[in-house]
Amino acid sequence: MKNIEKYARGYFMPPVKSLKWTEKEYITEAPTWCSVDLRDGNQALIVPMNLDEKLEYFQLLVEVGFKEIEVGFPAASETEYAFLRALIEQNLIPDDVTIQVLTQSRDHIIAKTFEALKGAKKAVVHLYNSTSVAQREQVFRKPKADIIDIAVTGAKMLKKFAAETEGNFRFQYSPESFTGTEMEFALEVCNEVLDIWQPTADNKVIINLPATVSMSMPHVYASQIEYMSDHLNYRDNVIISVHPHNDRGTGVADAELGMLAGAQRVEGTLFGNGERTGNVDIVTLALNMFSHGVDTHLNFENIPEIIAKCEKLTRMKVHERHPYGGELVFTAFSGSHQDAIAKGMKWREEKETQHWSVPYLLIDPMDIGREYEGDIIRINSQSGKGGVAYILQQSYGLDLPVEMRESFGYEVKNASDRQHKELLPNEIYDIFISEYVNIISPVEFINYQAIQNDHYETNVSIRMNDEEYEFTGEGNGRLDAISNAIQTNLGINYTDVIYKQHALEVGSGSKAVSYVGITSLNGAKFWGCGIDTDIMTSSVKALFSAINNMVTSLQLTVEKAKVKNEK
């Protein structure tokens, strides 16, 4: 690419090394979560939510479990103002939920903000102003002293209006564009604000350190957070919050490393909605912690329902590959992946293990409201025998012998390849029925009678070419006797009879299923399946199905050979 020389690193490392966070292995407890869907997420929508939609979304956030919810910028528009008043006046805010509002450091905006907050049981008033080099030089064209004055003036006004307004208020300050600010200056601004607010153990202040634009690798952000955590005044009475954006695709990593570095609070949105590339995705961040056995205090047990509401209210789609929430994130099409998942699920059932460790599945999809059937294993031309067998067993109770799975797997792969599409479980089942179950051509089984002496003697009736025949055979068992009768009288030869049977427990009453595999003299393997209310009859039907598949295949081979010779 051209123009590489145009770009330089715009972030600032701390003046001292801050690497204690590297000694921690993982996050051990959930942060305080603050949803900014209704402010940052809403202002990023092509069509912002109306009042009713915002009220519905607020209720969704409460149901998920958020205890802090930023509800907007009430001085920015009538809809924002009316929304906040509706929440307060209609008593829609649960007692354990704190709302948050955003304000610039301007007298009339702060006055309007507190007017909208009148009567709030618990509210965080979030003051911000930009501090980065780029903002100071290009937007405000002010020196550092003037930027500090903006923050200090706003902090004083918040304190004044809070004392004069009915309600219960806490304060939050953000040095917006923190990641593009010299760390010493960001610390100076925050400490000046803290000196105005004088936080105590009973009245803590939030210092929010946003990656307004993500400029660096996540470890740099972590070092910046740790530096601030180590040097802020009143640290025991300060809650450090992070608000990562996702410009570099590292919003989740920034938040995770930021928490290791001392952040106690995270601001973000469901599924990462927000300006430009969005905010940190709280669904992903929380479920990452969940996968390590950490209680997140958020409820994502019905992800499909949450997605449906979010998509309806925001008019935006959750991508199919979105972590945890996407339609396909637990789905395996690859044959080797499907086989490992199916075996892992079976191992889990056999061992009754406490901890989840199924290959390729980070968490149990059912824990977030996803279903095994149709979610985990889906079939196309890339799929393998294990996945196909898993679908039949889970959806229809058919437990194919291991040796049969390869044969059927190729049937399904070929069908998907020819049709150039994914095959649904019912389509896979239809292929199995048509290719293997109770096949009656060219040799149709009618009935049998067995007599047991020192060995089994069996009379078997068949129909072939519209004619009925009765043959007699002997063997070690009834199925062996019938098999010998067919081979002797019809001149059909095969070896290595494989047999398996089980009860059919899915949607069929008391039927039995049998599977038979035979090997032709040229070494090819052929399979058949029989389903019947009588277990022995099902096994005979399976044998005839395998024989018919062999005879049909050999006839086709002969016909192809004839054509080749004629040419």
| Same domain, yes or no: 372 and 287 | no
- In 3D space, the residue among 286, 274, 308 whose CA is nearest the CA of residue 38 turns out to be 274
| Same domain, yes or no: 71 and 125 | yes
- In 3D space, the residue among 484, 425, 492 whose CA is nearest the CA of residue 457 turns out to be 484
| Same domain, yes or no: 298 and 427 | no
Question: In angstroms, how far is CA 65 from the centroid of its own chain?
Answer: 19
Amino acid at 510: S
C-alpha torsion 244→249→252→253, nearest 10: -100
Domain that holds residue 61: 14-314
pLDDT of residue 133: 95
C-alpha torsion 377→379→380→384, nearest 10: 80
Q: Domain boundary residue among 436, 457, 484?
A: 436
Q: Are strands 525-532 and 467-475 parallel, antiparallel or unpaired?
A: unpaired
Amino acid at 41: G
320 in a domain, yes or no? no
324 in a domain, yes or no? no
| Same domain, yes or no: 419 and 449 | no
Q: What 3-state DSSP class applies to 307? A: helix
**Is the four-CA dihedral 290, 282, 33, 49 of positive or negative sign?**
negative
Could you give the C-alpha distances from 60 to 54, 129, 278, in angstroms and in order?
Answer: 10, 30, 20
- In 3D space, the residue among 441, 477, 485, 489 whose CA is nearest the CA of residue 459 turns out to be 485
pLDDT of residue 474: 92
| Same domain, yes or no: 180 and 272 | yes
| Same domain, yes or no: 426 and 480 | no
- Residues 222, 183 contacting (CB under 8 angstroms): no
Could you give the C-alpha distances from 1 to 4, 6, 248, 249, 318, in angstroms and in order?
Answer: 7, 11, 18, 20, 31
Q: How many C-beta atoms surround the C-beta of residue 533 within 10 A?
A: 12
Q: How many C-beta atoms surround the C-beta of residue 364 within 10 A?
A: 15
Q: Which residue has the tokens 């199924």?
A: 358
pLDDT of residue 373: 64
3 in a domain, yes or no? no
Q: What's the CA gap between 136 and 105, in Å, rounded?
A: 15
pLDDT of residue 454: 67
* Count of domains observed in the chain: 3
Q: Domain boundary residue among 252, 280, 314?
A: 314
| Same domain, yes or no: 157 and 23 | yes
- In 3D space, the residue among 143, 218, 147, 219 whose CA is nearest the CA of residue 177 turns out to be 147
| Same domain, yes or no: 231 and 102 | yes
| Same domain, yes or no: 455 and 477 | yes
Q: Domain boundary residue among 436, 453, 480?
A: 436
Per-residue pLDDT of the chain (567 residues; tens, 9 = 90+): 999 999 999 999 999 988 999 999 999 999 999 999 999 999 999 999 999 999 999 999 999 999 999 999 999 989 999 999 999 999 999 999 999 999 999 999 999 999 999 999 999 999 999 999 999 999 999 999 999 999 999 999 999 999 999 999 999 999 999 999 999 999 999 999 999 999 999 999 999 999 999 999 999 999 999 999 999 999 999 999 999 999 999 999 999 999 999 999 999 999 999 999 999 999 999 999 999 999 999 999 999 999 999 999 999 999 999 999 999 999 887 778 888 888 898 899 898 888 999 999 999 999 999 987 667 878 887 887 788 888 898 889 999 999 999 999 888 988 888 999 988 999 999 999 999 999 999 999 999 998 776 678 999 999 998 899 999 999 988 999 999 999 999 989 999 889 999 998 766 567 999 999 999 999 999 999 999 999 999 999 999 999 999 999 887 554 444 444 444
Q: Is 459 exposed, middle or buried (0-12, 13-18, 19+ CB in 10 A)?
A: middle
pLDDT of residue 455: 78
220 in a domain, yes or no? yes
323 in a domain, yes or no? no
452 is written with which tokens? 């047991």
- One-letter-per-residue 3-state SS of 32-45: EEEECHHHHHHHCC
474 in a domain, yes or no? yes
pLDDT of residue 509: 61
Q: What's the CA gap between 550 and 548, in Å, rounded?
A: 5
pLDDT of residue 371: 83
pTM for this entry: 0.82
| Same domain, yes or no: 86 and 139 | yes
Q: How many C-beta atoms surround the C-beta of residue 493 within 10 A?
A: 11
CATH code for position 543:
3.30.160.270
Strand partners, 356: none
| Same domain, yes or no: 57 and 144 | yes
Question: In angstroms, how far is CA 477 from the centroid of its own chain?
Answer: 52
306 in a domain, yes or no? yes
293 in a domain, yes or no? yes
DSSP state of 3: -
Q: What's the CA gap between 376 and 154, in Å, rounded?
A: 53
| Same domain, yes or no: 267 and 178 | yes
